[in-house]
Amino acid sequence: MRIKQPGDEIQEGVHGCEEKTTSETKSWSTGFLVNMESTVAEIDCVSIGVSSNDIDLSVLYPDSSSLPIMASLSEADDEESELHTWKKLGFEPTLPICLKFEDVTYKVPVKGEKTPDANKYILHGITGLVHPGEVLALMGPSGGGKTTLLNLLSGRIKLDSGTITYNNQPYSKSLKWRIGFVLQDDVAFPHLTVKETLTYAALLRLPNTLTMQQKKERATYVISELGLERCQNTVIGGTFFRGISGGERKRVCIANEILLNPSLLLLDEPTSGLDSTTALQIVKMLRNIARSGKTVVTTIHQPSSRLFSKFDKLILLGKGSSLYFGKVSDAMLYFSSMGCSPLIAMNPAEFLIDLANGNIKDKSVPSDLEDKFFPRNNSLDMKHGELSQVDVHEYLVEAYAVKEAKLGKTKLIKPLLIDAEPRMKARSSTMEWGATWWDQFSILFRRGLKERRHEYFSCIRITQVFLTAIVMGLLWWRSDASSPKGLQDQATICYMCL
C-alpha cells in the first residue's frame, strides 16, 4: 500500500466529489457495515507491515468531512451485538474499491461496412471517479451509452481505449466476485417465493467455507435488511399470474447481489417502471448500501428532484459523450455558470436530460453559443427556433472538454491510495467459491422441482398422464413377447414410455 507521498495532490473529480453523510446511514446496519479502519489496517499489514495507527486516513479521504463510512462505522463499532451477527453470518469484511475510469472509449463495427474504419462510437472519452461510500449516477437520454459504460465498468465487455482501474489496479478475475451487477431485467423464477429465491441463491453462490446454516441465515438477514420480510413467502410472479410488486422485485434482484457482499455494486436502471415513492426508497437503500463501505454506480432515467438529490456524483451522458462529471449538487451551478438555466420552474434532472438531448426550450442559451451559430442581427426567438440539437450537443461537449482541460482533467485525480492487489490475490486464492458439484446438483434439482411443481402436480397434467397410460396399456394389452414381431412391439412401448 502506498501511504502518503510527499506532494501527492488529491483532487476529487472535476468539481470536487465529497458530501457529508446524513444520519440515514444508521438504518443500514450490521453485516454490511464495513469496518473501514480495520480493513485498511489489514491491507496495510498485508502489504507493508505497519500497524493501523500508522495509517493516515486523511490520505484516503483528503477532506475529513467526506468520511461517510467512517462516520457510520464509529457508530457501528459501539454495537458489539451487530458485529457478532456480522461474524456469525460469515460476512467477510468488504475491501473498499475506488473505481476510476479515464478517457473510456467504446466503438462497434458498423454492419455492412467493409472498411476497417467504419465504426460506430458508443462512448467517447468518458472520465470519472467514485469512492467507497458514494453513489454515482449515470444519467442521460435513452441511447446515451449508460448501459454500455456500466458493462465496461463491470468488466463484462472490453474497452477500446482508455483505462478503468479498481484501487489503481486493472480488472482481474479476482475482482469478479467483488462486483455485483443488477441487470435492468433480471431473471427470477416466477414460482419461487422471495425466501426460496434468495436461499437457493445463497446456497449456490456463497463459498463452501460457510456452513449451510450460515448461508441460510445470511439469506434471511438480507431479506430483513432489504425490507422484504412482508413478502418473503409470496411468489415472484410472472406474465400470467401476480406475485410481488415491481419495487419488491427490484429489491429481490438487488438482494441477490448483496448476498455475496460485493465491494462494487453496479445497477442498470433499478428504478425504471416504479412510482416516485418506491423509486426513492430504492435509491435511499442504495445510498445506505454505499454508506456501508461499498461503491455504487447506477444508471437512472427520469428521477424526481428528491431522488436526484440522493446521489453523490453524477455523470451526464449525451450521445456517448460526457457533458458533466462531478457532485450532483454542483451540476446546476456548472450549467448556469456557462449561461444555461431553466427559464421556468423545472426538475433539475429534467433540465439536465433536456440539455443532454440538445433541447433548449424554456432554457437560457449561452451567449457564445448564440454568437457562434447566428449573426448578431437575428431575433432571439429565431435563434432558438433554428438552433439544432446537434449544435447544442456539440457546444456542451466542447464546453465540458474545455472545463476539464482547465482543471487538469483527472490526471490530478488521485483515487484511494490503496495497493489492494496483494490482498485481492490472497483472498481469491484462499476462498473457495460456490458449491461442490454434488451440492449444485441437489440444490438445482430441488429448485427445479419447486419451480415446476405447479406444472408437474397440476390436475390436468396428472389426468393427462393417467389417460395416456391407460390408452397405451390397452393398445399393448397381452402383446406376445415370444415372437420377434411381439418383441419389436414391446420395444416400441419402452420407447414410448421414455
Which stretches of the chain bind ligand ATP, using CB under 6 A? 108, 120, 122, 140, 142-148
Nearer Cβ to ligand ATP (235/279): 279
3-state secondary structure of 323: strand
Cβ-Cβ contacts under 8 Å for 111 (sequence gap 6 or more): none
Give whichever of 60 and 300 is closer to ligand ATP, judged by the CB atom. Answer: 300
Sign of the four-CA dihedral 18, 22, 28, 29? positive
Q: Which is nearer to ligand ATP, 168 or 272 (CB)?
A: 272
User: Which lies closer to ligand ATP via its Cβ, residue 260 or residue 349?
Assistant: 349
Minimum distance from CB of 290 to ligand ATP (Å)? 21
**Distance (Å) of CA 315 to CA 140, 150, 185, 254, 403:** 8, 12, 23, 22, 15
Give me the count of residues in the chain.
Answer: 498
Q: Which is nearer to ligand ATP, 143 or 448 (CB)?
A: 143
Quote the least distance from Cβ 155 to ligand ATP, whole Å.
Answer: 16
Type of residue numbered 66: S
φ, ψ for residue 321, nearest 5 deg: -110, 150
Closest distance to ligand ATP from the beta carbon of 357 (Å):
12
Instruction: Report in angstroms how near the CB of residue 108 gets to ligand ATP at its nearest.
Output: 4
All residues at 6 or more sequence positions from 37 whose CB lies less than 8 Å from its CB, including other chains: 52, 57, 70, 73
Q: Which is nearer to ligand ATP, 215 or 319 (CB)?
A: 319
The Cα 53–Cα 37 span in angstroms is: 9
C-alpha cell at 45: 499489514
Supply the minimum distance, in Å, between the C-beta of residue 460 and ligand ATP. 40
Neighbours of 140 (CB within 10 A): 29
Close Cβ partners of 478 (under 8 Å, ≥ 6 residues apart)? none
Using DSSP, state whether 237 is helix, strand or coil: coil
Shortest Å, Cβ 266 to ligand ATP: 12
Q: How far is the CB of 159 from ligand ATP (least distance, A)?
A: 13
CA-based radius of gyration for the chain: 28
Q: Considering the complex, state which of residue 17 and residue 315 has its C-beta at the smaller distance from ligand ATP.
A: 315
Helices (H) and strands (E) in the chain, counts: 19, 9
- Which among 129, 471, 176 has a CA at the least distance from the CA of 312? 129
CB of 317: closest distance to ligand ATP in angstroms? 7
Q: How far is the CB of 412 from ligand ATP (least distance, A)?
A: 28
Residue 197 or 299 with smaller CB distance to ligand ATP: 299
For ligand ATP, give the closer residue by CB, 148 or 232: 148
Upper half-sphere CA count for residue 276 (Cβ side, 13 Å) = 8
